[in-house]
Amino acid sequence: MRSGEMMDVLITGGTLVDGTGAPPRRADVLLRDGRVARAGEGSRAGHVIDASGLVVAPGFVDLHSHADFTLAEQPDAEACVRQGVTTVVTGNCGLSTFPAPAFGVDLDSFAATVAAARPAINVAPLVGHGALRAAVLGQEQRQATAEELAEMRRLLAVAAEQGVYGLTTGLIYAPGSFADTAEIEALATEATLHGLLYATHMRDEGDRLIEAVQEAIGVARASGARLQISHLKAMGPANHGKVAAALEMLDTAAADGLDVACDVYPYTASSTTLTSRLPGWALDGGNQALLERLADPEARERILDGMRPAVGRTFLPEGVIIATLGPGRFADRVGDSIAAVAKDLDVEPSEAVLEVLAAHQASVGIVNHAMAEQDVDLVLRHPSAAVASDGWVMRAPGEGHPHPRSFGTFARVLGRYTRERGLLGLAESVRKMTSLPASRIAMAERGTIVPGQVADVVVFDPERVGDLATYADPWQYAAGMRDVFVAGQAVLRDGEITGARPGRVLRRTAG
C-alpha cells in the first residue's frame, strides 16, 4: 500500500484484543473509508494483511503527553508510532502552547500550526492552567483578583468552545504553583460547566503527597469535575508506599460518587526541570527574576536554606541526572548526576544545583530517580490507572539525554509488565492504553475496535514487543510493532515507516 493511499484493508488471522477488556479472540478486522467496518469472520477487501500469530488492537491513546511542544518540528512522530501510539493528549501539567492572547495564539492557531506540519498521529488538546494564569497575571506570585479570575474563566470557556477536552494544572510548576485552592476550584467549576476533564499534576508528590491528593479530591468535590491525577507516584524513600493510601483515597471518593482516576508511566524515574528542586518563591517573576536572585548572595542563601531540608528525602543528588541544557559551563555534564557535579566542584548538592542553573539561564532538564518499583506496580495494577508516557521526544536521535519513556512506555508495559512479569493480562494492558484513556477525555470514536469506530489500529508481535530505550542509552525505538493505521492509513507497515501523515488535531464537541 503506497503512502497516503486509502483502500479497504482486511487484517486476517490475528488475535483481536478489542480494547474493552474482553478476552482476546480470533477475528478478522475490516477497515473501510477510515472506519472499522467489521470485526469477525468472512469479510473481504482489496488489500489483505496476514496477522497470524500477531495481536490486533486499537491504536494506543497517550493520555499524558507534552508533544504539543515538539510535534510541529517532528511530525513523523516515529517514537510514538513504533510504540503503537496513534493519539497523544497534550497540554498536561498546566503547560499548553495556548492561550497566549498577546501573541494571537489560541486553539485554532495551534491546530493550524499542527495541520501545516501534517503529523502522522492525532492530537487531542487540553488547556493548561499555567498558560491561563500567565496570560492574565504573568509570572507573579500572588492571588488573582476577582477580575483576573473572571478573565481566566473566560479564556477557559473560549478554549472549551474551540474544542479542548480538558483543563490541566501543574501545581509544582510556576506560575501554577502560585494559585491557591480557591482559584483551582473556580476554574475546575468552569471546566465542569463545559463537560471537560480536570487533570492535575498535584502540588506535592513527596512528603505531602496525601495532602495533595486531598486537595485534588476536594477540588473535584467542590466543582463537580471529573478528576484525573497525573502520573501518580511517591518521590523519595521516606515516602515510598504512600501510593497505597492515595489509591484508597481515590477508591473512597469513587464510592462516594466522584468520577476520579489516575495514570502512570512504567518507570521509577521522573523527568522534569531542575528549577522544580527550588522553593516556590524563588521563581516569582520567572527565570530572569530567578537569575537575579542567584546573583544576589543574600537571596541565594535563602534559596539554599529552602532546598537543604529536602536533600536525602525528595531531592536525591545521586539520582538527579542532567538531561538537557544549552551551551555553557556545564554543557559537557549531560548524563551526569548533581552529586557528581557537586563532588567535582567541592560544594554541597544544593549549591551545585544553583551553579548549573545560573550557568544555563535557569533552563535545565533532569531525569530524577526517586521512586520505588513496588509503587509503580501497585498503581499500574489499579483498575482506574491508564498508561501514559509524560513524554515529548518524537524522533531519534537527538540532543541531550532524555528519559526513555518517550520511546518505550507502551511497549514496556506490553513486554516487561505483561509478557515477562505477568503483572497484567494482555486484555487489561490494552484497555489501559485504549478505551480507558479515551473514556477519560470523552473521546467516543477511538479506543476500541468495533464497527463504526475510527480505524486507528495496531498489529504487534506479543512475543517481541518491548522497550529498548534505557536510562544509559535512551535514543532507541521500541520493538515488535509491525503495522500501525491512523484513520485507516498505514503509517507503519511491515515494520517500516510509510511516510503517510494522516494525523490531525481532534476537537471535543459539546454534548
Q: Is residue 508 part of a domain?
A: no
The pLDDT value recorded for residue 1 is 47
Beta-bridge partners for 153: none
Please report whether residue 25 resides in a domain: no
* Burial (Cβ within 10 Å: 0-12, 13-18, ≥19) of residue 44: exposed
Query: What is the domain range of residue 83?
Result: 59-268+371-447
| Final residue in a domain of this structure, among 447, 481, 506 | 447
378 in the same domain as 249: yes
Nearest residue to 240 (alpha-carbon basis) of 337, 379, 416: 379
DSSP character string of 147-206: HHHHHHHHHHHHHHHHT--EEEEETTSTTGGG--HHHHHHHHHHHHHTT-EEEEE-S-SS
Residue 400 domain flag? yes
Do the domain assignments include residue 87? yes
pLDDT at 382: 98
Domain annotation covers residue 463: no
Q: For residue 92, is it within any domain?
A: yes
Q: How many domains does the chain have?
A: 2
Residue 300 sits in the same domain as residue 260: no
Q: What is the CATH number of the domain that holds 415?
A: 3.20.20.140
What length is written for the chain? Answer: 511
Per-residue pLDDT of the chain (511 residues; tens, 9 = 90+): 444 556 799 999 999 999 999 999 999 999 999 999 987 765 566 789 999 999 999 999 999 999 999 999 999 999 999 999 999 999 999 999 999 999 999 999 999 999 999 999 999 999 999 999 999 999 999 999 999 999 999 999 999 999 999 999 999 999 999 999 999 999 999 999 999 999 999 999 999 999 999 999 999 999 999 999 999 999 999 999 999 999 999 999 999 999 999 999 999 999 999 999 999 999 999 999 999 999 999 999 999 999 999 999 999 999 999 999 989 999 999 999 999 999 999 999 999 999 999 999 999 999 999 999 999 999 999 999 999 999 999 999 999 999 999 999 999 999 999 999 999 999 999 999 999 999 999 999 999 999 999 999 999 999 999 999 999 999 999 999 999 999 999 999 999 999 999 999 999 986 5
On whether both 142 and 208 belong to a single domain, the answer is yes
For 120: left if phi > 0, alpha if psi spans -120 to 50, otherwise beta; the answer is alpha
C-alpha to C-alpha distance for 35 and 37, rounded to whole angstroms: 6
Residue 440: strand, helix, or coil: helix
pLDDT tens digits, 81-127: 999 999 999 999 999 999 999 999 999 999 999 999 999 999 999 99
Domain-ending residue, one of 406, 427, 447: 447
Domain end position, chosen among 447, 471, 486: 447
The set of cell numbers assigned to 421 is: 512479569
- Looking at 224-286, list the stretches that DSSP marks H as alpha helix, in order from N- to C-terminal side: 242-255
288-296 CB contacts, 8 Å cutoff, 24+ apart: 289/139, 290/357, 290/362, 291/357, 291/358, 291/361, 291/362, 294/354, 294/357, 294/358, 294/362, 295/358
